[in-house]
Amino acid sequence: MKVFCIAGEASGDLHGSNLVKALVKKEQDLQLKGWGGDLMEEAGVEISKHYRELAFMGFVEVLMNIRTILSNIKKCKAEIESFQPDALLLIDYPGFNLRIAEWAHEKGIKIIYYISPQIWAWKKNRVFKIKKCVDQMMVILPFEQDFYAKYDVDVDFVGHPLLDALPAKPISTFEAFCQKNKIDTKPIIALLPGSRKQEIAKMLSKMLTQQKHFPEYQFVIAGAPSQPDAYYQEITKGDVPVIHGSTYEILQHAQAALVTSGTATLETALLQVPEVVCYSSSVISYNIAKKLVDIKFISLVNLIMDREVVKELIQSELNEHKLKEELKSVLPNGKKHEKMSTDYLELREKLGGPGASSRAADVLLKTINRS
């Protein structure tokens, strides 16, 4: 059985790797090739292009890199044709993957899509392309099944894979963590500024304005696996520790976190860390998005709960004063600290139990094997 996998971002690489691990346990005769990252490669996928070469954010950034994107699509199609897979496993990354899906459908290749594009937020017309081209959609958010049902599309809700990926127990003691990473023993405020260069540069400078307001804490940056330490040093001038490959461990020891919107907001919540969600993009990108996006919130935490659990500071609201007030409110003894912890427990219940990767592997194999 041959499967070609495509993940274009760090989160897709993580969830794709856990799905692949589950697949390998269930099906011995597997050949796995594709585009992704280090985690998928470690799980057994022969990776020919890394996601760090694929990730572009925002309307302006996409337009500036359109030639590269079109070239990547052409290369990907050529690799799929050469590999002749029994199925494509597409993981999130909709701008790219839906183009590949449309082409592959015409070629008669089975298409399994894991982690639905956020079509409930914008570009709802994509549901018709999915209905036409995708053989099986596997969704990970509880409200997505109802959304697709409105369009008579049968999808599988497999649960959220983060419940499998997150550590169940502390990875280390606080003392051991500080000693290993050669940092102070003051309480930690974690900074998660994103994974792409554009957002890191913009978000980190805003987050670091809080250092002078909370001298009793140390700020620790969770470095993205796709970005070198030197890039962070250019921004921080070496004044703030950057720790790579230990995001969950950092969060386990953090008293609070400042988090760029995305999967990290959910990871932070599931690890029971009070957070403030931060988002800022170029004025042009933001204004375009504001007209197109049809959602009340930008963080997964609030979207799943359908109410404000974590504060979202967006664009002009993401300023030094407001960030200071919100961060103060979620730290221990802050007015929002206890309520946020209670809300996080309810959030976990809504996402279903562990085993999402195994259930997704079952759906994938069933889809490939059916005539």
Residue 195 and residue 321 share a domain: yes
- Residue-wise pLDDT for 97-156, tens only, equals 999 999 999 999 999 999 999 888 777 889 999 999 999 999 999 899 999 999 999 999
User: What is the C-alpha to C-alpha distance for residues 111 and 21, in angstroms, rounded to an integer?
Assistant: 19
Beta bridge partners of 279: 314
- Tell me which residue range forms the domain holding 131: 2-159+355-369
Residue 219 and residue 361 share a domain: no
42 part of a folded domain: yes
Identify the band that residue 290 occupies on the pLDDT scale cut at 50, 70 and 90: low
Length in residues, the chain: 371
Residue 193 and residue 155 share a domain: no
Residue 203 and residue 126 share a domain: no
Q: Is the pLDDT of residue 248 over 60?
A: yes
For 330, the 3-state DSSP assignment is helix
Q: Is the pLDDT of residue 285 over 90?
A: no
- Residue-wise pLDDT for 161-174, tens only, equals 999 889 989 999 99
The set of residues, in sequence order, having a beta carbon less than 8 Å from that of 308 and lying 6+ positions away, is: 297, 302
Residue 288 and residue 155 share a domain: no
Residue 179 and residue 326 share a domain: yes
- Residue-wise pLDDT for 52-81, tens only, equals 877 655 555 556 667 777 888 999 999 999
Please give the model's pTM, rounded to 2 decimal places: 0.78
Residue 326 and residue 270 share a domain: yes
Alpha carbon separation from 178 to 175, 182, 237 (Å, rounded): 5, 6, 21
Residue 221 and residue 151 share a domain: no
Residue 362 and residue 255 share a domain: no
Residue 361 and residue 270 share a domain: no
Residue 55, pLDDT score: 61
The domain total for the chain is 2
258 part of a folded domain: yes
Judge contact between 309 and 301, C-beta under 8 A: yes
CATH code, 121 = 3.40.50.2000
Q: Taking residues 315-339, what's their average pLDDT? A: 96
Residue 179 and residue 323 share a domain: yes
